[in-house]
Chains A and B, each alone.
Chain A
Amino acid sequence: MDTAEKLAQMALAVALFAGVVGLILLLAGRVRRGADLAQALAFVVPALALLAVGLIYPALRTGYQSFFDRTTENFVGLANYQALFERDDLLVVLRNTLIWVLVAPVVATVIGLVYAVLVDRSRFEAFAKSLIFMPLAISLVGASIIWRFVYEYRPDQQNIEQIGLLNQILVWLGMEPQQFLLNSPLNTLLLIVILIWVQAGFAMTVLSAAIKGIPQDIVEAGRLDGLYGVKMFRYVTVPSIRPALIVVLTTISIATLKVFDIVRTMTGGQFETSIVANEFYTQSLVRGNYGLGAALAMVLFVMVIPIVIYNVRQLRKADHR
């Protein structure tokens, strides 16, 4: 980029910022005048400025770039998007992303929910909860390194001991050790296990709090009506914590769509394990194909939007209750 282009970019950013501030001024002016306005501006403007510079402008810029070729010089129309749905290696990326989004949030939420119900009001509740909560404190890279050791493979020869937990178990059971991370699509599922391991703690924490929020007299009314065990879970527990369940599911879904560290650390996206977030990094920063990278980023963006909107609407509904 030459200096003129950089200046043009800066001018665009400043114009964007000014536009947003102007809009806020207009809105605030319509609500109330005077001291309230100053107060509102003091809170809103810095946040909006950061959003404009850090989020809105890059998003627009990325969207713009996705219609250009690998050097971002020549306009190619929808070619990048077309490639996404035609090239076999990129279709695998989309397929993997779909598997991640379908499996990880549901399994993590179910595990968190069942665990929260089982340890609720038990004697070891605090200890049991800290066990499942702790992975949340580990970074995804750290977690991935731990699990790489679990899946580790050593050639099946004399005098060579397996150092991976899973393969050692296979050996104990009299089976052949496997190269877990090489076989698709099993390897994608094994990577998903890592995210579930981390996110189940989050699900458990939120859902456990929701379960404790169920009024005791409703549980007692349920007992008088003949609800025990599974029926209590089905008719009282789950309906009562429905809003929390939705928040957990959508939050983990968003986290799943954005997963990058696990794939990067475990396989680097090879062996058909790549997902959109990782592929967009690979295309933009490794292969230098900025246009395709931008298109992948846009796909990710478009996939997250409906979940965010749904989440916000649920929150608003909950407020009205």
Chain B
Amino acid sequence: MATVTYDKASRIYPGQDNPAVDSLDLTIEDGEFLVLVGPSGCGKSTSLRMLAGLEEVDQGSIRIGERDVTHMPPKDRDIAMVFQNYALYPHMSVSDNMGFALKIAGTPKDEIRRRVADAAKLLDLEEYLDRKPKALSGGQRQRVAMGRAIVREPQVFLMDEPLSNLDAKLRVSTRTQIASLQRRLGITTVYVTHDQIEAMTMGDRVAVLKDGLLQQVDTPLGLFDKPQNVFVAGFIGSPAMNIATFDLVDGNATLGESSVPVPPAVSAAVKEEGSDTVTLGFRPEALEPVSSESEGGIPIVVDVIEELGADAFVYGQPAGPTSELQSDRMRSETVIARVEPRNVPAKGAKVNFRVRPGNEHFFSVKTGARIEA
């Protein structure tokens, strides 16, 4: 078991100007489950592959525990990886697949057999040990890929979107299985996914990447409650946060007929950077319907209603004569609001919402960084 440290690690693909991973600084604690998340092309897989030794580190260094592994061949790094397509050897049986790394390392045969049997028991694979991968279902193959990693008893597990080839239902159950297995084994794990729900449900901490740059590392709740910039705010949370650029007028953020009170500290910070606009974000669940006369309202014309049973979401357009002008200012096509599932407004109705005080997120228009209220 060990910590993992990325120390200003960069990867620049030959012939490209922008680094795929740009001076990544990240420390993963012993036994921690860290999730790397971001949109495709953000460098999350490259970061993982740098740690695995499948990708060169062009600048900076990577350490596992106290060992500098920056230029070490993969097999000496004491890691095990679970691939997106599982990468099982098609010509070997399940048990041979699981024990192969040990066999190459020259581990005695009974030791291999014992460790494979233990892992098979843990993963409920005992009856499939003699089968070839092609005779297994997707979920079983995924477990064999996990087993192959567990058998090695490595210091670090690396997982590259291991659930993306499973169907939706199996993905949810396997998600919890992997998380609980990791807690039980206590092995430091780096997990890559593009799915923010997977990231939020599995990770002890989540690192959000974009364009090769680390945006924020925090606990799932930390990311949700205090996103450090507009990108993280928009990326984490489902449905996504409503984000738009508002004018700052007399201590209120206004856009068309919408108006949200702004704390003095935020107004001061915006004035300080010489701006009269502010990016305001609020989550769908931070909105509540109010009577149309009340102050600080956001009038919305209901477009579509999604009724999920436990929740209901209203998708709408900002109301008012200048709404077309406003759509340039918005990050998304629609405004989303969570409403009581047993008391939904009618389609086409105009509803006045307000943001529950304290649930606004303010960001600088210039830098995108969070402005603390």
- Mark A residues whose CB is within 8 Å of B: 215, 217-218, 220-228, 231, 235-236, 239-240, 242, 321
Contacts and interface: CB of A to CB of B under 8 A. Distances in A.
A225 B54 contact: no
B366 interface: no
Nearest to B54: A220
Given A220-B87, A225-B104, 5 more contacts: A217-B83, A218-B89, A221-B81, A221-B83, A226-B75
A231 to B, nearest CB: 7
16 contacts: A217-B83, A217-B84, A220-B54, A220-B81, A221-B83, A222-B89, A223-B73, A224-B75, A225-B75, A225-B101, A225-B104, A226-B105, A231-B104, A239-B92, A240-B90, A240-B91
Contact of A215 (B52, B73, B87): B87
A107 to B, nearest CB: 25
Interface string B80-109: 110111011111100000001100110000
Contact of A220 (B73, B83, B89, B91): B83
A231 B89 CA distance: 14
B134 A221 contact: no
Contacts of B134: 321
B232 to A, nearest CB: 30
B79 interface: yes
A225 B134 CA distance: 21
A224 B89 contact: no
A221 B104 contact: no
B89 A221 contact: yes
B289 interface: no
Contacts of B88: 218, 221
B19 interface: no
B74 interface: yes
A-B residue pairs, 10 tightest by C-beta: A226-B75, A217-B87, A221-B87, A225-B101, A239-B91, A226-B104, A217-B83, A224-B74, A218-B87, A223-B74
Interface in B59-90: 73-75, 79-81, 83-85, 87-90
Contacts of A321: 134
A234 to B, nearest CB: 11
Contacts of A222: 89
A224 B76 CA distance: 9
Interface of B: 52-54, 73-75, 79-81, 83-85, 87-92, 100-101, 104-105, 134
B83 to A, nearest CB: 5
Contacts of A217: 83-85, 87
A241 to B, nearest CB: 10
A220 to B, nearest CB: 5
A98 B104 CA distance: 39
A287 to B, nearest CB: 51
Contacts of B91: 239-240, 242
A227 to B, nearest CB: 6
B162 to A, nearest CB: 12
B87 A223 contact: no
B345 to A, nearest CB: 50
Nearest to A221: B87
**Most chain A CB neighbours (cut-off 10 Å) among B54, B73, B105:** B54
A217 B91 CA distance: 15
Contact of B81 (A215, A218, A224, A235): A224
A224 B72 CA distance: 11
A223 B84 contact: no
A236 B89 contact: yes
A219 to B, nearest CB: 9
Nearest to A217: B87
A63 B81 CA distance: 62
Nearest to A238: B91
Contacts of A235: 89, 100, 104
B100 to A, nearest CB: 5
Contacts of A226: 75, 101, 104-105
Contacts of B92: 239
A223 B104 contact: no
Which of B85, B92, B105 neighbours the largest number of chain A CB atoms within 10 Å of its CB?
B85
Contacts of B81: 220-221, 224
Nearest to B149: A224
A215 B75 CA distance: 19
A225 B53 CA distance: 12
A321 B133 CA distance: 11
A225 B87 contact: no
B80 A224 contact: yes
B83 A223 contact: no
B100 A223 contact: no
B82 to A, nearest CB: 10
B257 to A, nearest CB: 54
A221 B80 CA distance: 9
Nearest to B105: A226
Please indicate which of the listed interface residues A221, A227, A242 has the most CB atoms of chain B within 10 Å of its own CB. A221
A225 B83 contact: no
Nearest to B86: A217
Contact of B54 (A223, A236, A242): A223
| Most chain B CB within a 10 A radius of its CB, from A223, A224, A226, A236 | A224
A226 B85 CA distance: 20
A235 to B, nearest CB: 8
A215 to B, nearest CB: 7
Given A223-B54, A223-B75, A321-B134, A215 B104 contact: no
Contacts of A227: 104
B41 to A, nearest CB: 18
A245 to B, nearest CB: 12
A133 B355 CA distance: 72
Contacts of A220: 52, 54, 81, 83, 87
Contacts of A231: 104
A218 B100 CA distance: 13
A220 B81 CA distance: 10
A227 B101 CA distance: 9
Contacts of B89: 218, 221-222, 235-236, 239
